[in-house]
Amino acid sequence: MIIANWKANGDIESNKIWCNQLISRMSDKGFKSIGIAPSYIHFNQIKNMLKNNGIEIGFQDIDIEGGARTGSISPSMAADSECSFCLIGHSERREIFNDDNDTISKKYKMLAKHHIKPVLCIGESFEDFQAGKTEKKLQTQIEECIQGNILSENLIIAYEPVWAIGTGNTPKPKDVNTIHEFIKDVVQSATENNIVPQVLYGGSVNKNNAADFFVQQNIDGALIGGASLNADIFSDIIDIYRRLRER
Ligand code: PGA
């Protein structure tokens, strides 16, 4: 799956142009395996423009519950909006909004309860990477975020090294492949029902490096920030993904 993470970007006019460009690029090839996570405020606009094509429209985050929580969007609101997937644990939420693994685990539980596909984001800091602690860090994040939860078949993990997000720096695709294999093993051993999740890579994916990632056996797609803001570039990346992964 290829997911666009628009973060706090977009406006009504430019979203319209983006959707029309995507439709003109994809309408004869189909919209399978494409997800878009716009801002909450633009969710319905994007849903109305694209949902009939089968594109999955999701949220970038969710709160753990509803009620007296000013400024929040509750899990039942997400379900009510027909949100198809939801990112949780993105490093910007962890860093700027102090989401810890315990909170992310609660969010996971609520998504499962409301039958919304969870896209659990994990990733190590540059210090952890340099100290050779990547696998240890990822294992802790996975175990603490899914602890005590029954894993759904549709769980997606997005591996996003914090130091690769929005920087233009990426780990070597071969190393990412090894890490994805490790992530699949950790998730599988943490679940009673032996779930092997799809694992997406995220962090400075663009149309020039996408092929190097998608040829790797365990890289099942991408979570794309900056390069997803341009519909033509995003479509180019989808084309590359399909050529290499959907044979
Ligand atoms: P980037 O962002 O593609 O701009 O590095 C990825 C993300 O934050 O999900």
Q: What is the pLDDT of residues 51-104, one digit of tens each?
A: 888 899 999 999 999 999 999 999 999 999 999 999 999 999 999 999 999 999
Active-site option among 42, 56, 90, 180:
90
Q: What is the CATH number of domain 2-245?
A: 3.20.20.70
> For this structure, is 124 an active site residue?
no
Label residue 8 exposed, middle or buried (CB < 10 Å: 0-12, 13-18, 19+): exposed
Active-site option among 56, 92, 124, 160:
160
> For this structure, is 160 an active site residue?
yes
SS3 61: coil
Q: Which sequence spans correspond to the domains of the chain?
A: 2-245
Residues with CB under 6 A from ligand 1: 5, 160, 165-166, 202-205, 223-227
Which residue's structure tokens are 């050779």? 132
Atom 3 of ligand 1: nearest residue by CA position: 225
Identify residue 222 by its one-letter amino acid code: A
Q: What is the pLDDT of residues 147-205, one digit of tens each?
A: 777 777 889 999 999 999 999 999 999 999 999 999 999 998 887 778 899 999 999 99
Distance from C-alpha of 169 to C-alpha of 187, rounded to nearest angstrom: 27
- Between the alpha carbon of residue 20 and those of residues 35, 120, 230, 231, the distances in Å are 16, 29, 12, 9
